[in-house]
Chains A and B, each alone.
Chain A
Amino acid sequence: MSTLLELSGIRKSFGENLVLNDISLRFPQGSATVIIGASGSGKSTLMRCINLLEELSDGQILLEGSDISAYGINLDSVRGKIGSVFQAFNLFPHLTVLENITLAPRLVQKKSKDDATVHALSLLKRFGLEDKADAYPNLLSGGQQQRVAILRAIATGPKVLLLDEVTSALDPVLIAEVLALIAELKSDGITMIISTHEMGFAKKIADSVVFLSGGVVCESGTPQQIFDNPQSPELRNFLGALHDAGRL
């Protein structure tokens, strides 16, 4: 598999506070990478660096070989290639589900309203949400809202999909709905970077798992290596804590 996205030597500090320290990772085309780590380990900051919501303090991000972290690059055109979904859904409350999904295709990609609508409806139909097309977000359950948010992110056909703790605000039943959708997208071959606390899901879907601790990549490998044969004391502690909390 060829490399789609590559991080080399990423460093990010907020003033004196060094959050990411020399992170280098490769994300092959079509792969699902799960990023795990305790709160404050830098997971979310890493995600925000990748879609350029944060300015790097050092290092380089290459998407299909071109440097998207160069100064003066057109951020909007890069973000069009990177779909992002957040923990808090962030659907636009004043737009219907259909309008939420068709907004970016129409405004950014200049698709006609009809084309965008046909595509959005086919996505909604595929994931069993077609009856919600004209509903406003506040009438949907959290799981439905998050699924719509994911569909909104993929409606523009991004090359990479970033999912930042997308199930953290949901109960187990709703989590299952969302994870099923993500699993199906993976089978479509969308390259995904997922930060999550759902270890069972991580095991199932991940091609590789990255464990962040204290702003560095502490350990990375296949799910079997990470979960069944952890090497570093940090990872053992983390997995032990999850185990004690009944999350593993």
Chain B
Amino acid sequence: MTYTPSTLQLQREDAKRRASRRSTAIALLSTLIFGALLTVIVVNAQGFNAVRESFFNWHYAQKAFPRIFDGILLNLRVLFIAEFFVLIFGLAIAVARTTTSPVLYPLRLVATIYTDIFRGMPLLLVLFLVGLGIPGLRLSYVPNSAVFLGTVALVLTYSAYVAEVIRAGIEGVNPTQRQAARALGLSHSQTLQHVVLPQAFRNVTPPLLNDLVSLQKDSGLISVLGAVDAIRAAGIETAQSFNFTPYVVAGGLFVLLTIPLTRYTDWLIRRQDRAQKAQGVF
């Protein structure tokens, strides 16, 4: 049996197409007007030329680029190592906080105090305490490298954030799922591993990735300890020329670094929305 759409349906689809073309045109026009307006405001500003000269100077950008690029490679290394440990510690702390056994009360207490402290403390302070305080203890077996200590500080702070995100995910899994798994005879840890955590991670992937994006840019803060990352390299270049373009170059590289992850996060969120709509939540 072949199906031919009715005239009514053809008209409806036609109207839909026209409306869609119209919204595209409006979006384009509105973007053009907005962009033109912004350009006119900025270009006509009194100090425009001075700002362009000291922040967007092509000559200094080219000159500083190789050094900054070396720096960003350090940021990338720090980032990957920090991400790895942040996920492990974050998961461990989250699981510790969701235990219920009375024997484990001290563990819960420590995990709670840890997250309370490191979520509340400014990252810069943690960096100074770890990066300058630990060498001050003169422990021979702890490396004094700024990169190592800076990474430790990042891991300490971000583990607390990530632990809270994962914990929210664990607590967001419907309790009946846990009960169903226990009723099948799975142990507490089996339930956690095979039933609760997979669902928890799926629910919190977007906020988790959000924290990782944020970690990516905060890896630039280890420069305060003297590690020659992209920010520090830009600082050195600026000190030679008194031109701020190198900082802008470093900032641009950081943005380029985070864009793939942010786009991926957006895509994931959209996909989850669609999956929920398909389940009849309107």
A interface residue numbers (CB < 8 A to B): 9, 11, 48, 53, 56-60, 69-72
Contacts and interface: CB of A to CB of B under 8 A. Distances in A.
Interface stretch (B12-20, B51-59, B147-155, B166-174): B12-20
Contacts of A59: 6, 8-9
Contacts of A56: 9
Ranked nearest first, the 9 interchain pairs of A and B with the lowest CB-CB distance are A58-B9, A71-B15, A71-B12, A71-B16, A53-B282, A58-B6, A58-B5, A60-B8, A9-B6
A70 B13 CA distance: 10
Interface residues of B, number: 11
Interface in B1-47: 3, 5-6, 8-9, 12, 15-16, 19
Contacts of A72: 15, 19
Interface string B261-282: 0000000000000000000101
Contacts of A60: 8
11 contacts: A9-B6, A11-B3, A11-B9, A53-B282, A57-B9, A58-B6, A58-B8, A60-B8, A71-B15, A71-B16, A72-B19
A199 to B, nearest CB: 25
A57 B5 CA distance: 9
Contacts of A71: 12, 15-16, 19
Nearest to B278: A14
Interface in B63-99: none
Contacts of A70: 12
Looking at chain B's contact residues, is the secondary structure mostly helix, strand, loop, or mixed? helix
Nearest to B4: A58
B26 to A, nearest CB: 15
A73 to B, nearest CB: 11
Contacts of A69: 12
Nearest to A88: B280
A71 B280 CA distance: 21
Given A58-B8, A58-B9, A71-B12, 14 more contacts: A9-B6, A11-B9, A48-B280, A53-B282, A56-B9, A58-B6, A59-B6, A59-B9, A60-B8, A69-B12, A71-B15, A71-B16, A71-B19, A72-B15
A55 to B, nearest CB: 9
A57 B9 CA distance: 7
Contacts of B15: 71-72
A72 B12 CA distance: 9
A69 B12 CA distance: 9
Contacts of B280: 48
B117 to A, nearest CB: 33
A69 B9 CA distance: 10
Contacts of A48: 280
A58 B9 CA distance: 5
A23 to B, nearest CB: 13
Nearest to B18: A71
Nearest to A58: B9
Contacts of B19: 71-72
A22 to B, nearest CB: 9
A78 B8 CA distance: 20
Nearest to A67: B8
B4 to A, nearest CB: 10
A78 B12 CA distance: 18
A102 B161 CA distance: 40
A70 B14 CA distance: 12
A57 B16 CA distance: 13
A247 to B, nearest CB: 25
